[in-house]
A and B are shown apart, each in its own frame.
Chain A
Amino acid sequence: MSDVLSYLSLPLTMLAVFGIQALSLQLILGGAGLLSFGHAAYFAVGGYVAAAVSVFALPALGLDPSTSPLFSLFVAALAGLLASGLTGFLVALPCLRLQGDYLAMATLGFGEIVVTVLKNVDAVGGTRGFKDIPKLTHPLALWLTLAAVVVFLHRLYASPLGFAIRATRDDEIASRSLGISTNRSKVLAFSIGTGLSGLAGAFHAHALQFISPDAASFDRSVEILLAVVLGGMFSLRGSLLGAFLLVALPEVLRFATPAIAEKRVLFFSLAVILLMILNPKGLAGLGDRLFHGLRRRPRNPPGASGSTGVPT
């Protein structure tokens, strides 16, 4: 039994970290409708800054992270959150003037720049990565944080700011004519989302005791994007479902017959393609379809404008 638990502890940690990250992108992508192709960059910024705090800053202040792990984790995670949120804010100010696809390209570019910069900073390990970070992440603290993020985003969507963010997504010009500061809602959504991604990075770095420049790479950004879109980008539970699927699916395939286990990435990618073609609105959309189909006919005829369903 303890073997099972110890085997599961890493996937479970990854799941919670990935869940926070997927939720953070959900706010930007589904909530604000901003295409971000470089979301992993903020994860890395948060991870590196948090690690630098627990490795360099705290001991310099005379505080040994191993004697007060929870407090140190709190300080480091807070630093990661603020640093990545601030980075997101600074990226958002100029870049959010760009429309749709161009924004996607600019964010992608920024992600690659972060990788290059991290590779060139020797103090945090350069290309070898940041090693020997103290293990501070407690599973309970991590899962409670995930729960807190869910509650926070739920409240945010119900707040005036949340409505402004979604209105801006649905129709920017109409929102502006109603007196909504669309620029403010976009910048805030982007900054909050990138900040939360940095929070995930901080927990990740202090769970694995290691973070490398690859954490900011395009591959990682694509993984988060995959989780959010596959699960359903217009709801929090959709994004969580996607994160769960992306962590669980390769683990499950590992236990399949050897022929499949060996080539599990092949099967994984095929599953991604099929799931997307069969559920273009994500798996959460599938659940809603089944649910509504049983209870009543959908209120909106399919194909109506804004047919994205009721967003969270």
Chain B
Amino acid sequence: MIDFLQYLLDGLATGSVYALIAVGYSMVFGVLQLVNFAHSELFMLGAYLVMLLFAQGAPIWAAVLLAGCGVGAFAVLMEKFAYRPLRSSGRLAPLITAVGISIFLQNLVQALFSPNPQAYPFHLPDGILEFGEDILVRQRDILIFILAVVLTLGLEAFVRYTKPGKGIRAVAIHPQAARIVGVPYNRIVSLTFFIGAVMAVVAGALQGAATNQIWPYMGVSSGLKAFAAAVLGGIGVLPGALVGGLALGIVESLLVGYDLSTFKDGAAFLILILVLLVRPQGLLGKKVLVKV
């Protein structure tokens, strides 16, 4: 039982990073019904940019802020030039450009830096807290977890109570109707991409600090799992991304703990399929009726 609790706590940090990436997949899908496969590369790009800025001597909060704005601007441009022209061309065409951008960014970063993992210059406090007799928790895990919860719930509050947030929800519910009542559709889409990118940058910096290494393909596996987390929790629902991300992080940690680490990568997707078959809308999603 003590073991179980320990593994559970170990999974929180990984799960929190998944959750922060999942938020971006979830929001973009909610607004455009597009799986933005390049999103995982924004996460990677964020980790590198924060590293660069931090190495230049910027304090960490400024490095994350600047990198967030930079990657956010890139995401807005990406949507404008690679996705927007294909909006009326069906679901698959923008998906292909997303894949193209993804391959491009991976290889660009690989050419600029190196294909090898690099040590991360920024670290989180790595003291250890003891609970009771045997349960140990790293301070940085708690920090990452709290940050993920605060950011996700803060974003949920933003989407719920502010005017731009209400615009995002309106576009997600009914794009045409939202446009008719005067919601600036394209600006809302850009905002969605920007917010998703900022979250991905935070996730990238946290991942770098927690594992102490980043590499050009770090987005590939984390991205796919974050995407699974978004679907698992209910795509388009922000607290769902948090629940899905944490669930996957904890399951992976449990598998590693019980000596099943070679099955870790498949487990996320097995759970995904099982949940989809029973509850296609995800754990926290609402069922949408298709009208004829």
Which residues in A have their C-beta under 8 angstroms from that of B29? 101
The reply to whether B104 and A266 contact each other, CB–CB distance below 8 Å, is yes
Given known contacts A105-B276, A281-B89, A273 and B111 CB-to-CB distance under 8 angstroms: no
Interface string of A109-134 (1 = CB under 8 A from B): 11011011101100000000000000
Interface residue stretch chosen among A76-84, A135-143, A160-168, A226-234: A226-234
CB distance from A15 to the nearest CB of B (A): 20
The reply to whether B272 and A105 contact each other, CB–CB distance below 8 Å, is yes
Which residues in A have their C-beta under 8 angstroms from that of B81? 277
The reply to whether A109 and B100 contact each other, CB–CB distance below 8 Å, is no
Q: Does A270 contact B (CB under 8 A)?
A: yes
CB distance from A279 to the nearest CB of B (A): 9
Interface residue stretch chosen among A64-72, A92-100, A196-204: A92-100
Given known contacts A109-B273, A120-B262, A269 and B107 CB-to-CB distance under 8 angstroms: yes
Q: With A and B bound together, what is the CA distance between A225 and B92 in angstroms?
A: 9
Q: Which of A119, A266, A280 contacts B86 (CB 8 A)?
A: A280
A-B contacts counted at CB < 8 A amount to 123
Q: With A and B bound together, what is the CA distance between A277 and B94 in angstroms?
A: 8
Q: Which of B86, B224, B227 contacts A277 (CB 8 A)?
A: B86
Given known contacts A269-B107, A272-B99, A280 and B89 CB-to-CB distance under 8 angstroms: yes
Q: Does A63 contact B (CB under 8 A)?
A: no
Q: Does A149 contact B (CB under 8 A)?
A: no
Residues from 17 to 46 in A contacting B, C-beta threshold 8 Å: 29, 35
How large, as a class, is the contact surface on chain A? Answer: 35 or more
Q: Does B137 contact A (CB under 8 A)?
A: no
Residues from 207 to 223 in B contacting A, C-beta threshold 8 Å: 220
Interface residue stretch chosen among B8-16, B164-172, B263-271: B263-271
Q: Which of A117, A218, A280, A281 contacts B224 (CB 8 A)?
A: A218
The reply to whether A270 and B96 contact each other, CB–CB distance below 8 Å, is no
The reply to whether A113 and B99 contact each other, CB–CB distance below 8 Å, is no
Which residues in A have their C-beta under 8 angstroms from that of B272? 105-106, 109
Q: With A and B bound together, what is the CA distance between A219 and B40 in angstroms?
A: 14
Name the residue of chain A whose CB is nearest to the CB of B105.
A269
Q: With A and B bound together, what is the CA distance between A173 and B263 in angstroms?
A: 40
Given known contacts A113-B266, A277-B86, A280-B86, A229 and B93 CB-to-CB distance under 8 angstroms: yes
Which residues in B have their C-beta under 8 angstroms from that of A276? 86, 93, 96-97, 100
Q: Does A58 contact B (CB under 8 A)?
A: no
Residues from 249 to 302 in A contacting B, C-beta threshold 8 Å: 263, 265-266, 268-270, 272-273, 276-277, 280-281
Q: Does A108 contact B (CB under 8 A)?
A: yes
Given known contacts A102-B276, A116-B263, A276-B86, A269 and B269 CB-to-CB distance under 8 angstroms: no
Q: Which of A98, A268, A308 contacts B276 (CB 8 A)?
A: A98
Which residues in A have their C-beta under 8 angstroms from that of B107? 263, 265-266, 269
Q: Does B124 contact A (CB under 8 A)?
A: no
CB distance from A105 to the nearest CB of B (A): 5
Given known contacts A225-B96, A280-B93, A113 and B270 CB-to-CB distance under 8 angstroms: yes
Q: Does A180 contact B (CB under 8 A)?
A: no
Which residues in A have their C-beta under 8 angstroms from that of B108? 266
CB distance from B222 to the nearest CB of A (A): 13
Residues from 154 to 204 in B contacting A, C-beta threshold 8 Å: none
Name the residue of chain A whose CB is nearest to the CB of B231.
A105
The reply to whether B104 and A109 contact each other, CB–CB distance below 8 Å, is no
Which residues in B have their C-beta under 8 angstroms from that of A117? 266
Which residues in A have their C-beta under 8 angstroms from that of B95? 225, 229
CB distance from A163 to the nearest CB of B (A): 22
Given known contacts A263-B111, A266-B111, A105 and B290 CB-to-CB distance under 8 angstroms: no
Q: With A and B bound together, what is the CA distance between A173 and B100 in angstroms?
A: 35
The reply to whether A273 and B104 contact each other, CB–CB distance below 8 Å, is yes
The reply to whether B104 and A270 contact each other, CB–CB distance below 8 Å, is yes
Q: With A and B bound together, what is the CA distance between A225 and B97 in angstroms?
A: 12
CB distance from A260 to the nearest CB of B (A): 12
Q: With A and B bound together, what is the CA distance between A110 and B274 in angstroms?
A: 11
Q: Does A104 contact B (CB under 8 A)?
A: yes
Contacts from B to A (Cβ < 8 Å): 29, 33, 35, 37, 81-82, 85-86, 88-93, 95-97, 99-101, 103-104, 107-108, 111, 220, 224, 227-228, 231, 262-263, 265-270, 272-273, 276-277, 280, 290, 292
| Sample of 6 further A-B pairs with CB below 8 A, known A229-B92, A266-B111, A273-B100 | A109-B268, A109-B272, A218-B220, A263-B107, A277-B82, A277-B86
